[in-house]
Amino acid sequence: MKPAIRVATQGDEQAIFELISELALYEKAPDQVTNTAEQLAIDLFVDNICDAIVATYDDVIVGFALYYFSYSTWKGRCLYLEDFYVKESMRKLGTGQLLFDEVVSIAKTSKVKRMDWQVLEWNEPALKFYSKNDAILDGEWINGRIFF
Protein backbone atom coordinates (compact mmCIF):
# COMPACT_ATOMS: atom_id res chain seq x y z
CA MET A 1 0.00 0.00 0.00
CA LYS A 2 1.23 3.46 -0.94
CA PRO A 3 1.15 6.42 1.48
CA ALA A 4 -1.54 9.01 0.74
CA ILE A 5 -0.90 12.77 0.53
CA ARG A 6 -3.51 15.27 1.69
CA VAL A 7 -3.85 18.86 2.87
CA ALA A 8 -3.38 19.21 6.62
CA THR A 9 -6.59 19.87 8.51
CA GLN A 10 -7.37 21.13 11.98
CA GLY A 11 -6.59 18.32 14.38
CA ASP A 12 -3.38 17.35 12.54
CA GLU A 13 -1.27 19.91 14.42
CA GLN A 14 -0.21 17.55 17.23
CA ALA A 15 1.04 14.87 14.82
CA ILE A 16 2.81 17.51 12.70
CA PHE A 17 4.38 19.02 15.79
CA GLU A 18 5.64 15.59 16.90
CA LEU A 19 7.29 15.23 13.48
CA ILE A 20 8.79 18.73 13.85
CA SER A 21 10.26 17.59 17.16
CA GLU A 22 11.68 14.45 15.49
CA LEU A 23 13.20 16.64 12.78
CA ALA A 24 14.80 18.90 15.39
CA LEU A 25 16.28 15.85 17.11
CA TYR A 26 17.59 14.55 13.76
CA GLU A 27 19.15 17.97 13.10
CA LYS A 28 20.79 17.86 16.56
CA ALA A 29 18.83 20.91 17.78
CA PRO A 30 15.88 19.70 19.89
CA ASP A 31 16.32 22.54 22.40
CA GLN A 32 15.81 25.16 19.67
CA VAL A 33 12.12 24.32 19.16
CA THR A 34 10.07 26.99 20.93
CA ASN A 35 6.89 26.62 18.89
CA THR A 36 3.92 24.61 20.21
CA ALA A 37 1.23 22.49 18.60
CA GLU A 38 -1.32 25.07 19.72
CA GLN A 39 0.55 27.94 18.04
CA LEU A 40 1.06 25.81 14.93
CA ALA A 41 -2.72 25.29 14.74
CA ILE A 42 -3.29 29.05 14.94
CA ASP A 43 -0.66 29.75 12.29
CA LEU A 44 -1.99 27.07 9.92
CA PHE A 45 -5.75 27.20 10.39
CA VAL A 46 -6.63 30.61 11.88
CA ASP A 47 -4.07 33.15 10.70
CA ASN A 48 -3.23 31.15 7.53
CA ILE A 49 0.40 32.32 7.48
CA CYS A 50 1.59 28.91 6.27
CA ASP A 51 0.19 25.75 4.73
CA ALA A 52 0.97 22.09 5.21
CA ILE A 53 0.39 18.78 3.53
CA VAL A 54 0.75 15.43 5.25
CA ALA A 55 1.59 11.90 4.21
CA THR A 56 -0.55 9.23 5.83
CA TYR A 57 -0.18 5.50 6.00
CA ASP A 58 -3.15 3.55 7.39
CA ASP A 59 -4.59 6.94 8.47
CA VAL A 60 -1.50 7.73 10.57
CA ILE A 61 0.50 10.86 9.71
CA VAL A 62 4.03 9.76 8.84
CA GLY A 63 5.39 12.86 7.11
CA PHE A 64 4.67 16.49 6.36
CA ALA A 65 5.73 19.46 4.30
CA LEU A 66 5.11 22.98 5.60
CA TYR A 67 5.42 25.90 3.20
CA TYR A 68 4.42 29.52 2.64
CA PHE A 69 4.48 32.02 -0.15
CA SER A 70 7.24 34.60 -0.25
CA TYR A 71 8.30 37.29 -2.66
CA SER A 72 11.44 38.02 -4.64
CA THR A 73 11.98 41.49 -6.05
CA TRP A 74 13.81 39.85 -8.95
CA LYS A 75 11.45 36.93 -9.65
CA GLY A 76 8.09 37.77 -8.09
CA ARG A 77 5.99 35.26 -6.19
CA CYS A 78 7.90 32.31 -4.69
CA LEU A 79 7.16 29.30 -2.52
CA TYR A 80 9.35 28.62 0.51
CA LEU A 81 9.45 25.04 1.77
CA GLU A 82 10.09 25.60 5.47
CA ASP A 83 10.18 22.00 6.61
CA PHE A 84 9.87 18.63 4.94
CA TYR A 85 10.18 15.48 7.03
CA VAL A 86 9.26 11.81 6.85
CA LYS A 87 9.51 9.29 9.70
CA GLU A 88 12.61 7.17 9.23
CA SER A 89 10.58 3.95 8.95
CA MET A 90 8.67 5.40 5.97
CA ARG A 91 11.62 6.75 3.97
CA LYS A 92 12.14 3.82 1.64
CA LEU A 93 8.52 3.68 0.47
CA GLY A 94 8.60 6.78 -1.71
CA THR A 95 6.81 8.88 0.91
CA GLY A 96 9.27 11.76 0.68
CA GLN A 97 9.09 11.80 -3.11
CA LEU A 98 5.28 11.91 -2.99
CA LEU A 99 5.36 14.85 -0.55
CA PHE A 100 8.01 16.72 -2.51
CA ASP A 101 6.20 16.16 -5.81
CA GLU A 102 3.01 17.54 -4.28
CA VAL A 103 4.78 20.70 -3.07
CA VAL A 104 6.29 21.16 -6.54
CA SER A 105 2.81 20.72 -8.02
CA ILE A 106 1.41 23.34 -5.62
CA ALA A 107 4.22 25.71 -6.62
CA LYS A 108 3.52 25.22 -10.32
CA THR A 109 -0.25 25.55 -9.92
CA SER A 110 0.30 28.75 -7.92
CA LYS A 111 2.48 30.03 -10.78
CA VAL A 112 5.42 30.86 -8.56
CA LYS A 113 8.71 31.70 -10.23
CA ARG A 114 10.94 29.93 -7.72
CA MET A 115 10.79 27.36 -4.92
CA ASP A 116 13.31 27.70 -2.10
CA TRP A 117 14.37 25.69 0.93
CA GLN A 118 17.43 25.05 3.07
CA VAL A 119 19.31 21.85 3.77
CA LEU A 120 22.09 21.29 6.25
CA GLU A 121 25.46 20.69 4.61
CA TRP A 122 26.02 17.46 6.56
CA ASN A 123 22.62 15.94 5.65
CA GLU A 124 23.85 13.61 2.90
CA PRO A 125 20.54 11.75 2.40
CA ALA A 126 18.71 15.06 1.87
CA LEU A 127 21.43 16.41 -0.42
CA LYS A 128 21.20 13.27 -2.56
CA PHE A 129 17.40 13.47 -2.60
CA TYR A 130 17.37 17.08 -3.79
CA SER A 131 20.09 16.42 -6.35
CA LYS A 132 18.07 13.51 -7.70
CA ASN A 133 15.21 16.00 -8.15
CA ASP A 134 17.40 18.32 -10.25
CA ALA A 135 17.60 20.97 -7.51
CA ILE A 136 20.27 23.65 -7.59
CA LEU A 137 22.09 23.53 -4.26
CA ASP A 138 23.65 26.97 -4.01
CA GLY A 139 26.58 27.35 -1.62
CA GLU A 140 27.12 31.00 -2.54
CA TRP A 141 24.46 32.63 -0.33
CA ILE A 142 24.94 33.00 3.42
CA ASN A 143 21.88 32.85 5.67
CA GLY A 144 21.17 35.90 7.77
CA ARG A 145 18.91 35.79 10.82
CA ILE A 146 17.84 37.75 13.86
CA PHE A 147 15.99 35.93 16.65
CA PHE A 148 13.48 37.68 18.89
Question: Which of the following is catalytic: 26, 57, 68, 130?
Answer: 130
Does 102 score more than 90 pLDDT? yes
Maximum C-alpha span of the chain? 44
Does residue 142 fall inside a structural domain? no
Q: Which residue has the higher pLDDT, 24 or 123?
A: 24
Does residue 30 fall inside a structural domain? yes
| 130 is an active site residue | yes
Here the CATH number for the domain that contains residue 104 is: 3.40.630.30
Read off the amino acid at residue 114: R
The stretch 10-37 carries a mean pLDDT of 97
Count of domains in the chain? 1
Domain of 86, in residue numbers: 4-132
- What is the model's pLDDT at position 5? 97
Does residue 66 fall inside a structural domain? yes
Does residue 148 fall inside a structural domain? no
Ranges assigned E (strand) in the chain: 4-7, 51-57, 60-72, 76-86, 114-116
Does residue 93 fall inside a structural domain? yes
Out of 35-44, 58-67, 71-80, 113-122, least confident range? 113-122
Report whether 69 contacts 93 (CB < 8 A): no
Does residue 31 fall inside a structural domain? yes
- What is the model's pLDDT at position 147? 76
pTM over 0.85: yes
Does residue 141 fall inside a structural domain? no
Does residue 146 fall inside a structural domain? no
Render the burial of 6-30: b for 16+ CB within 10 Å, e for the rest.
Answer: eebeeebbebbbebbeebbeeeeee
Q: How far, in Å, CA of 99 to CA of 61, rounded?
A: 12
Band (pLDDT 50/70/90 cuts) for residue 79 is: very high
- What is the model's pLDDT at position 134? 87
